[in-house]
Amino acid sequence: MNNTKAVLIARPDGMAKQSDFAIKEEAVREISDGEILIAIKFLSLDPALRGWMNEGTTYIKGVELGTVMRCFGAGEIIQSNHPDYNVGEHVSGLLGAQQFSISDGKGLSKCDLGVGPLSWHLGIMGMPGMTAYFGLLEKGKPVAGETVFVSGAAGVVGSTVGQIAKIKGCRVVGTAGTNAKCKYLLDECGFDAAINYKEEDVEAGIKKHCPDGIHVFYDNVGGPLLDTVLANLGKGARVVICGAISQYNKSPIYGPSNYMKIVTARGYITGIIVFDYIKEYPKAVREISAWMKEGKMKTKEHIEKGIENFPSTLEMLFTGKNFGKLLLEV
């Protein structure tokens, strides 16, 4: 059996490009005692991959040049020499950008297909869904009646944040980059208002849709948008920095100049790294699964095909061409 994989061969300067990767093929080796062989069905394209391509260590070490690109994946166990894993079971984890992955089982999660299809375990019931759940509830601490503002709202993290905030009784306003995405937020996700940040004046939109100020800002975008929101915080506001996708391809990055508004709002700015909540994931999966079954929450997926398209698919996250959780079917 041959394994096709996307190997990182260069550190990107700005946007990651095709030439930063080599698509290689090699024979799958025999598994040893304590190992399993996974046939990967879906790879998860996440904005964090851009940071993992850089040299050095942040919350996780950068991917070594010449090795398979790190990314989440989900698949089926097709061989097992491990007592805890059986052939036919489905697992997810950092399986790498490839067709087959050999694992000793450490860091893998078993996927219960009873709570949702395999792809959901990389999206709303996987790492991005957990980010939304814990980032909003543990860091943003929304209270019914408050206004929650979400940037990058039409993505898997943003749309999940907004829907949880609605369930918690908040007014929810978000930004997205196309009218179709804004329509999805209003019609499918129950947002109270959506602002197309590419075509509309965001400040004017905030004044119109958030008359009492913003109490929780869940930021996926960063840059000048963060400054605009800081200028419009309500009293006691919590600003959750989840990501800053507008800055991932830049160096140096744009920092906020309106940060003193945190003082006048008596608020705080905080960050979230989802991996800090790994032990609590099952609780969140149970709750999100129940909300999905009750029809209180929806998710949208964008599925591309073929491992050779890994580099061009990754690019979609940074041009806004993805509409929903971006996956590559292997």
Ligand X SMILES: NC(=O)c1ccc[n+]([C@@H]2O[C@H](COP(=O)([O-])OP(=O)(O)OC[C@H]3O[C@@H](n4cnc5c(N)ncnc54)[C@H](OP(=O)(O)O)[C@@H]3O)[C@@H](O)[C@H]2O)c1
- Looking at residue 70, the DSSP 8-state letter turns out to be P
Q: What per-residue string of b and e applies to 65-100 under the rule 16 or more CB within 10 Å gives b?
A: eeebbbbbbbbbbebbebeebeeebbbbbebbbbbb
Work out whether 157 is an interface residue with ligand X (CB under 6 A). Answer: yes
- Choose between 9 and 316: whose C-beta lies nearer to ligand X: 316
Cα of 5 vs its chain's centroid, Å: 22
Residues linked to residue 217 through DSSP beta bridges, in sequence order: 149, 239
- Least Cβ distance, residue 194 to ligand X (angstroms): 10
* Residue number closest to ligand X, CB atom: 155
**According to CB under 6 A, which one of 136, 206, 245, 285 is a site residue for ligand X?**
245
**Of 30 and 187, which CB lies nearer to ligand X in the complex structure?**
187
Closest distance to ligand X from the beta carbon of 130 (Å): 8
Which residue lies nearer to ligand X by CB, 101 or 220?
220
Residue (100 or 184) nearer to ligand X, CB: 184
Are 225 and 197 spatial neighbours (Cβ–Cβ below 8 Å)?
A: yes
3-state secondary structure of 112: coil
Place of tokens 């969140």: 284
Residue 82 CA to residue 104 CA, distance in Å, equals 8
**243 scored as a contact of ligand X (CB under 6 A):** yes
Q: Is 320 a binder of ligand X (CB under 6 A)?
A: yes
Tokens of 265: 């709002």
Which residue in 119, 131, 147, 289 binds ligand X (CB under 6 A)? 131
Which residues make Cβ contacts (< 8 Å) with residue 262, sequence separation at least 6?
A: 230, 233, 237, 239, 268, 269
- Integer angstrom CA distances of residue 304 from 46, 96, 313: 14, 17, 7
Separation between Cα atoms, residue 27 and residue 99, nearest integer Å: 11
How far apart are CB 118 and ligand X at their closest, in Å? 18
Nearest to ligand X of 154, 214 (CB atom)? 154
Site residues (CB under 6 A) for ligand X, limited to 46-105? 46-48
Segment interacting with ligand X, rule: CB under 6 A, options 30-38, 104-112, 208-216, 268-276: 268-276
Span near ligand X by CB under 6 A; candidates 35-43, 100-108, 170-178, 201-209? 170-178
CB 266 within 8 A of CB 126: no
Question: According to the binding rule CB under 6 A, does residue 109 interact with ligand X?
Answer: no
Q: Does 162 bind ligand X (CB under 6 A)?
A: no
Interface contacts to ligand X, rule CB under 6 A? 46-48, 127-128, 131, 152, 154-158, 176-178, 181, 220-221, 242-243, 245-246, 272-274, 317-318, 320, 322, 326
